[in-house]
Structure 1
Amino acid sequence: MTQAVRHNAVLGRTAFAVLALCSTLAAGPAGAQQTPNAASPTVDVQALGSVKVTGQRTRPIDPSAIVAAKNKVLSAQFASSCGFMGGYSAADDDVTLAYLRSFGSLDAELSDLAPDDSTGAAPAPTANAAVPDMPTTPSVACAATDRRFAAGRNWIARKDKSLQQAFDAYEAGNYVEARARFEEGWKKLGYEEAAMMLGRLHLLGLGTPASTPKAIDWLNEVINARYHPVNDRLRYDPKKPDQINTRIEATLLLARVHLGGQGTQRNPEAALRLWRKALDFGFEPANTLIGQAYVSGVGTAPDGPKAVEALTAAAAAGHVPAMLLLGQLYHHQVPKQPSGVPLDLEKAGAYYGAASRAGNLEATYAYGRMLDLGEGTPRAPEKAFVFYKEAAVKGHADAQNALATFFYSGEVVPQNHATARQLFQAAARSRQPDAMFNLAVMLAQGQGGDKDLAAAYAWCSLAKGLGNEQAATALPAIAAKLSPDEKARAEAMLKPAPKKS
């Protein structure tokens, strides 16, 4: 093996070199098993735009959420209550999170615009400081008339069933009735939850003709409602990164509308302003979106230092996607690397490691790859193997492909072509192009299982279609060895399955 090929073998764990395959095919059936060489890596960097932040709500509707909504309306911080009610309970903020479920139809419609995080638990927050207690007495003096109004309002709230009826109708798919009851609740008591749902109904055209302008008006009712900077601010919990309150939900949804231009002119600048507002409301993952905007130039000019500043704050609060993005920025592994962020492999490894410990598979693979290549640290393939395995067993295709090369070559673990072939096949089924080509090599040579030139040709064709250069070179050599029957079977494999009527 030449020095250049050896260097590529260290870098790669991606695709085997083509020369050995071509020479083997030209000579006829494979003889002794050959150790693969690897080509330069194909880095599958997670696109920044795929980082999502959405609210998670529970189903069915918790009755306590309706009580919380009423208590919020009547809390002593509002002048209209005039101290009629007792003090505001901070616990009310949390129980309102259960008032409705996630709405799949809207998420499917805007999934490519909304910021989803499914990274699981994260380290404890370090950036949230304790806040002082605030007085619960209203700032506006109350006359006898005001107190009579507050008493009447209290009586209405305690007897009112419009919000519960509205959610019941929505769950039953009776959107016309739901809209009427939400409107009733809003007119009676100004429930923010009712305005939020009316915004969704108008946006999706449920129970009413779709109208983005009306949806925007309703969402702004929530966003611009009275706001107590302490009691109404979300207590962000990095162990539950998807939790949001009604105000933040409306803010994120309106940002999605402006970002995608659904029924209105696209306005990334407005989306960025709304993400900043969501941050003011206590939603720490909004800093990830702001940092992402500075990386990608969404609503602002690209700015590396500002991206790092926002992402660092989000990471300090425990948001795992921010840790991953910081690792990629310092590693210079983003599609369009913004200027002003120096290459810092030590920081990249630290952020990858933190995100990996929090359960992020992309970070686990990236950290293993740094150990495999010796980036910022002495090369440690035995440690890289551990990280690859952790991500591979959870379905990460790049990690499965990387792990397979260890079993193919016998590095770190005993050589086992059957296991290598199984891992390549798992990654290939997830559309990993290097694994497709690697599997084609093993099928063509009968390594780790039966020889199958037809399947080798099919997988090699798919790898070529996804841009694998080695596959493009090897494909003619495989085609030359196909019998007419094998060629027909290969073509049948490549035909798309007929659509079910």
Structure 2
Amino acid sequence: MHSFKLKRGIAAPGWLALMLALAHATPWAVPDTTNKAEAPNTLEGVKVKARRNGGATESTVIAAHSKVLSHRYASTCAFLAGGQDEVTLAYMRGLYADGDPLLGVEVDEETGKLVERKDQRFSDLSPGGDASSGTDNDRMIDQMLKQVDIANDSFNRVPYTNCTLADVNLAAGHNYIARKDKSLTQAFDAYEGGNYAEALARFEESWKKLGYEDAALMLGRLHLLGLGTPASTPKAVRWLREVVDARYDPVTDRLRFDPRKPEALNTRVEAALLLARIHLTGAGTKRDAAEAYKWWRKALDFGYEPAGTLLAQAHLTGVGPQPDIQRALSLLQTAGEAGDVNALYLLGQLYHHQWPRQPEGVPLDLKRAGAYYLAATKAGHADATYAAARMLDLGEGVPAAPERAVVLYKDAALKGNADAQNALATYFYRGEVVEQNLDTARQFFQTAAKQMQADAMFNLAVMLAHGQGGARDLATAYAWCSLSKRLGHQQAATALPAIEARLSPEDKARADTLLKPAPKKS
């Protein structure tokens, strides 16, 4: 068994069919610990996925209603009182958790919940007020404008002084339509049912009626993929621009990035990232890295902190902007502090001098690199966990600690990191730190080999050829060794003739079948 090397083996995409065929041919059932990505609709690297999963009360639909009421059609006076509209009340609860007399809501002393103020109620069915009760909205608004004069600074950002009865009427009209309208719910139902033409029509209806940003985002996706309509990148871009160019309130519309849920985006961020991907990959348009950089910048402005990492990578590689290592480090530091685990891992790579295109101007600093790796490890980053384990294993920047390294290798291996799987398998093979277990070693080598890890391919071939940890299988050993050689593994190139010399005619025929590319689907 060769001495393992802690390095990553990358195979060209063309070997994927071979890998799948070989994986199905191996005789052992091994738990697959790789990360299985779902199969979204894709177009040249553009990922598209519906955001809604559920019925008509889904939060996506409610959020869309709130956005319509909040900044597109109605001024702030739309929220002076909620009437019987739960959508408006839900919006106010989200913005003012402690209540706000200027917006017609207060905290109920008995229940502690946010409720509307009865003395400031108006209905969208009677926006002028209830004459029989002696109250009207003109007088109510006048009273509130007087309160604004003595309000504290926290309310100065809201333009109450522009609030008029005409604004109330406008808000009431749109509020009434929003409560009655079902087009957005119907559109999502049609999309999830695969009726894309119907979904397209309903999303367009939602946009025309009330300007839902979710509708514009989905229209952009449908036109991009050609679902329910001929594919058209220009039309897709136009709809996505409707989202990103909409009126923007940095207080209420900015995404609050949660490191625990990095996939949680809002419509503006999603649209900006999709525009960036379109221009970066040239999906139906000319590739333009500078344009992609612009949209990443927009996503960052909208509150998506990981966009800072994307911008940093652009500065590191010179894709889009000019190379600027100091700007890249600054962006990564900010993104890392905001909780983007990928930024922490990349900082570790840079100070470890493990970045594939290591730039000048970043000193080798193993202690700093280890600190960044460990920070990313605590956040669950599999590659960072492997990198931290490797430093402990080899004693880079710290005294060698194989016992601690094995713990981290196991963590990263179970998260699907192929290099960690190969390293952990080697420990089980040798019986170092852990008790020797050839069955476990062979399973981990096989799992890593399926991910095109060249060392694991060769190690598995050796175990198969010698019948270690399971039955001997020279044909499969030859196939794995051949694939490892194709990935540039020198020891595999040396061992391959020796394995081939031991093949029977039947073994050679089976090995050739395993290595034969699967026929292309017509």
Q: Normalization by structure 1: what TM-score? A: 0.76
Q: C-alpha distance in 1, partners of 2:499/2:188? A: 61
Query: Which residue of the other structure, out of 65, 68, 72, is the alignment partner of 2:63?
Result: 68
Which residue number in structure 2 is paired with residue 305 of structure 1? 326
Q: Is the 8 A contact 1:82 1:147 kept in 2?
A: no
Q: Where does structure 1 lack aligned partners over 5 or more consecutive residues?
A: 1-35, 94-131
**Residues 90, 231 of structure 1: 8 Å contact kept:** no
Measured against aligned partners, the alpha-carbon deviations of 1:420-460 in whole angstroms (never above 9, x if no partner) come to 33332332233221112112223333444444433332221
1:40 positional shift: 5.0
Q: Which residue type is aligned with residue 315 of structure 1?
A: G
Trace 1:416-495 onto structure 2 (pairs within 5 A).
Answer: 416-495=437-516
CA change 1:45–1:292 in 2 (3 A) is farther
> Do residues 42 (structure 1) and 7 (structure 2) align?
yes
Residue 204 of structure 1 pairs with residue 198 of structure 2: no
Deviation by residue 1:315-351 (Cα, 9 ceiling, x = unmatched): 1111111111111111111221122222111111111
Q: Deviation string for 1:209-261 (max 9, x for gaps)?
A: 22221221221111111111111111111111111111111111111111112
Task: Decide whether the 8 Å contact of 1:54 with 1:242 is kept in 2.
Answer: no
The answer for the alignment partner of 2:94 in structure 1 is 91
The aligned amino acid for 1:66 is V
Answering whether residue 413 of structure 2 is matched by residue 392 of structure 1, we say yes
Give the alignment partner of residue 191 of structure 2, picking from 170, 176, 189: 170
Q: Take 1:83 and 1:136, find their aligned partners in 2: how far apart are those partners?
A: 14
Q: Does residue 360 of structure 2 align to residue 339 of structure 1?
A: yes
| 1:186 matched residue in structure 2 | 207
Match for residue 318 of structure 1? 339
**Correspondences of 1:237-248 after superposition (within 5 Å):** 237-248=258-269
Residues 1:55 and 1:314: Cα distance change in structure 2 (over 3 Å): farther
**Alpha-carbon distance between aligned partners in 2 of 1:375 and 1:56, rounded to the nearest angstrom:** 45
Residues 336 and 260 of structure 1: CA distance in aligned 2, closer, same or farther (over 3 Å): same
Matched, 1:219 2:240: yes
Change (3 A) 1:179 1:320: same
Of residues 45, 53, 61, the one that matches 1:59 is 53
> SS in structure 2 opposite 1:155?
helix
Shift of 1:283: 1.0
Residue pair 1:397, 1:430 contacting (<8 A) in 2 also? yes
> Is residue 72–residue 92 contact of structure 1 (8 Å, CA) maintained in 2?
no
2:400 to 354, 379, 392: 379
**Structure 2 counterpart of 1:127:** none
Secondary structure class of the residue paired with 1:89: helix
Identity of aligned residues (%): 62
Offset, 1:301: 2.2
Whether the 8 Å CA contact 1:302–1:338 is kept in 2: the answer is no
> For 2:56 and 2:343, how far apart are their aligned partners in 1?
32
What letter corresponds to residue 43 of structure 1 in structure 2? R
| 56-65 or 424-433: bigger deviation | 56-65
Q: Deviations over 1:255-301 (max 9, x none)?
A: 11111122222211111111111111111111111112122222112
Structure 1 pair 174–58 and aligned structure 2 pair: CA distance change class (3 A): closer
For the residue of structure 2 that corresponds to 1:487, the secondary structure is: helix
After superposition, what is the alpha-carbon deviation per residue over 1:48-73, rounded to whole angstroms, capped at 9, x for unaligned? xx999998834125524433322322
C-alpha distance 445-169 of structure 1, shift in aligned 2 (>3 A)? closer
Larger Rg: 2
Greater shift in the superposed pair: 266-275 or 414-423: 414-423
- The one-letter code matched in structure 2 to 1:193 is D
Q: State how 1:219-368 maps to structure 2 within 5 Å.
A: 219-368=240-389
The aligned amino acid for 1:207 is G
Single out whichever of 485-494 and 299-308 deviates more from structure 2: 485-494
Deviates more, 1:352-361 or 1:479-488: 479-488
TM-score (normalised: structure 2): 0.74
Higher deviation after alignment, 168-177 or 432-441 = 168-177
CA 1:452 to 1:229, structure 2 compared with 1: closer, same or farther past 3 Å? closer
Q: Give the 3 Å change call, closer, same or farther, for CA 232–474 of structure 1 in structure 2.
A: same
> What is the rounded CA distance, in whole Å, between the counterparts of 1:326 and 1:56 in structure 2?
33
Instruction: Check conservation: 1:353, 1:363, Cα contact below 8 A.
Output: yes
CA root-mean-square deviation:
3.1
1:402, CA displacement in angstroms? 0.9
Instruction: Give the CA deviation at 1:142.
Output: 4.4
Distance 1:46 1:372 in 2: 25
Q: What SS does the corresponding residue of 2:258 show, helix, strand or coil?
A: coil
> Conserved in 1, the CA contact under 8 Å of 2:418 and 2:453?
yes
Change over 3 Å in CA distance of 1:481–1:45 after alignment to 2? closer
CA distance in 1, matches of 2:179, 2:157: 21
Amino acid in structure 1 at the alignment position of 2:94: A
Specify whether residues 450 and 215 from structure 1 end up closer, same or farther in structure 2 by C-alpha distance, changes over 3 A only: closer
- Mapped to 1, the partners of 2:79 and 2:361 lie a distance apart of 54
Distance 2:331 2:50 in 1: 23
Amino acid at match of 1:70: H
Change in Cα spacing, 1:404 to 1:155, as seen in structure 2 (3 Å) is closer
